């Protein structure tokens, strides 16, 4: 048998091959010839060394199958959600994938909260939002991978519940692989290694079936591009706990799912703090979120919109007519979406929502507005097919 058969990319978990550059796990033949356990596939290599990602070519069903197998080999599931894209990352329809295993909701990236907000308020808000879900979560906690103190509650949970084989499940980019790294104490391959130049120890990479059960001696790659992990990867932590990382699910109804990896990484709430801006809108005035969405005040009086999105999203107040032109033909200074995504995205449609004072209108994979100053009807213009939800205000009244 070929000595390279069964070698897997330690970044994404895909089996290495040089058959087709279209398939995950591809490496050029000369690299495959000298590959070892630290050799990254071409996609992971480009993410790590050039900060560039090719689009993911996995189907949703392939990912769901991998998640289901990953969960089946665990005793408990951590369902990771992003509080800044709750609509886009909390999907109760994924719960059947966990079988009868208890699941815990981990509200990650808590370091990104504006300093005036408290993490227990966010946990209470999530508790309220998931109330009545069957099966109910075994617990709901906040966490973050940046500050050590944000991991205290997870560590207590693992100890008290004696959890020992845990699957990390959730939408793309919520921080599953980051959590695996900080909780297991096992990190990825050192930068500069891999892709045929590393000096592998040759341990740990078994020949598990596709999408299931690979045992790795290093943790999967972390990156701000959605869809970094593409296979299920099992890592044994320094304390003996087994961690099962699974590929992120891209439900396809988030704006961030419908754009290229570069635009997707800009929209995701990673690394950078949440951006918040306040606009007083006259009747008929709109605020645009980059060239992607516009919220128009249709009330007869001035209304205040608190606007929240990732750092790269440019907000702009304008008339509703000009906003519509912006979305159809975004000027270059709006930066997002990029030229390629502009031609690819579905045409914008406008829908009207009745919002109460203090409520939010959230657009999955983009951000949200929170209404102040009285009830209002808000017209939202954004590409067709995006999940939009009216909801209780995430940050409450102030």
Ligand X SMILES: Nc1nc2c(ncn2[C@@H]2O[C@H](COP(=O)(O)OP(=O)(O)OP(=O)(O)O)[C@@H](O)[C@H]2O)c(=O)[nH]1
214 binds Mg ion (CB under 5 A): no
By CB under 5 A, which span of 64-72, 222-230, 273-281, 346-354 interacts with Mg ion? 222-230
Rounded to the nearest whole angstrom, what is the least distance from the CB of residue 221 to Zn ion in the complex?
7
Q: Site for ligand X (CB under 6 A): how many residues?
A: 25
228 binds Mg ion (CB under 5 A): yes
Measured at the CA of 203, the angle between CA 73 and CA 189, to 5 degrees, comes to 90
> Looking at 108, 229, 296, 320, which residue binds Mg ion (CB under 5 A)?
229
> Looking at 35, 37, 39, 177, which residue binds ligand X (CB under 6 A)?
177
Helix 176-184 and helix 152-160, axial crossing angle in degrees, nearest 10: 70
Residue at token pair 């790294």: 181
- Pairing type for strands 76-81 and 303-309 reads unpaired
Residue 112 or 376 having the CB closest to ligand X: 112
Binding partner selected for residue 68 from ligand X, Mg ion, Zn ion, none, CB under the kind-specific 5 to 8 Å limit: none
| CB count in 10 Å sphere of residue 170 | 26
> Looking at 37, 117, 173, 177, which residue binds Mg ion (CB under 5 A)?
177
189 binds Mg ion (CB under 5 A): no
Residue 240, exposed/middle/buried by CB under 10 A (0-12, 13-18, 19+)? exposed
By CB under 5 A, which span of 6-14, 90-98, 101-109, 245-253 interacts with Zn ion? 6-14
298 binds ligand X (CB under 6 A): no
Interface map 222-261 toward ligand X (x if CB under 6 A): xxx-xxxx-----------------xx-------------
What lies within 8 Å, CB to CB, of 346 at 6+ separation is: 258, 383, 384, 385
CA atoms of 43 and 221, how far apart (whole Å): 11
CA atoms of 317 and 188, how far apart (whole Å): 44
Evaluate the omega torsion of the peptide bond into residue 127 and state whether it is cis, within 30 degrees of 0.
Answer: no
What lies within 8 Å, CB to CB, of 215 at 6+ separation is: 204, 205, 206, 208, 234, 235, 236
Q: Answer positive or negative: Cα dihedral of 59, 65, 70, 75.
A: positive
| CB count in 10 Å sphere of residue 179 | 25
Rounded to the nearest whole angstrom, what is the least distance from the CB of residue 46 to Zn ion in the complex?
10
Count the helices and strands in the chain (H runs, E runs): 10, 17
Residue 79 or 395 having the CB closest to ligand X: 79
145 binds ligand X (CB under 6 A): yes
43 binds ligand X (CB under 6 A): no
41 binds Zn ion (CB under 5 A): yes
| Residue ranges binding Zn ion (CB under 5 A) | 9, 11-12, 41, 44, 259-260, 263, 338, 341
| Residue ranges binding ligand X (CB under 6 A) | 108-109, 111-112, 144-146, 172-178, 222-224, 226-229, 247-248, 270-271
């Amino acid at each position: 048998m070929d000595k390279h058969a069964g070698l897997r990319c330690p970044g994404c978990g895909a089996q290495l091959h040089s058959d087709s550059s279209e398939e995950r796990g591809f490496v050029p033949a000369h690299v495959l010839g000298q590959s070892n356990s630290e050799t990254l596939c071409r996609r992971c290599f480009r993410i790590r060394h050039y900060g560039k990602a090719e689009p993911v070519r996995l189907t949703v069903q392939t990912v769901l199958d991998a998640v289901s197998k990953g969960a089946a080999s665990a005793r408990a599931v951590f369902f990771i959600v992003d509080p800044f894209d709750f609509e886009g990352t909390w999907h109760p329809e994924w719960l059947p994938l966990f079988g009868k295993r208890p699941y815990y909701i981990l509200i990650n990236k808590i370091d990104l909260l504006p300093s005036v907000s408290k993490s227990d308020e966010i946990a209470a808000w999530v508790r309220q939002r998931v109330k009545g879900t069957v099966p109910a979560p075994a617990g709901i906690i906040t966490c973050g991978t940046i500050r050590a103190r944000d991991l205290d509650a997870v560590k207590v949970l693992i100890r008290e519940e004696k959890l020992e084989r845990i699957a990390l499940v959730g939408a793309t980019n919520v921080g599953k692989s980051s959590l695996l790294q900080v909780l297991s104490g096992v990190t990825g391959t050192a930068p500069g290694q891999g892709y045929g130049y590393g000096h592998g120890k040759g341990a740990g990479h078994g020949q598990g079936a596709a999408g299931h059960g690979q045992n790795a001696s290093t943790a999967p790659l972390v990156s701000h591009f959605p869809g970094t992990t593409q296979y299920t990867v099992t890592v044994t932590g320094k304390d003996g706990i087994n961690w099962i990382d699974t590929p992120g699910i891209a439900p396809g109804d988030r704006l961030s799912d419908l754009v290229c990896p570069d635009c997707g990484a800009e929209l995701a709430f990673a690394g950078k703090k949440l951006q918040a801006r306040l606009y007083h809108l006259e009747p008929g005035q709109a605020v645009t979120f980059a060239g992607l969405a516009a919220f128009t005040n249709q009330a007869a009086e001035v209304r205040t919109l608190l606007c929240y999105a990732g750092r790269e999203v440019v907000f702009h107040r304008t008339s509703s007519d000009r906003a519509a032109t912006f979305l159809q033909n975004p000027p270059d200074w709006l930066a997002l979406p990029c030229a390629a995504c502009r031609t690819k995205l579905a045409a914008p449609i406008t829908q009207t929502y009745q919002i109460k004072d203090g409520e939010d209108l959230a657009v999955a994979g983009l951000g949200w507005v929170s209404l102040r100053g009285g009830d209002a009807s808000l017209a939202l213009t954004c590409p067709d097919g995006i999940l939009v939800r009216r909801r209780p205000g995430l940050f409450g009244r102030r």
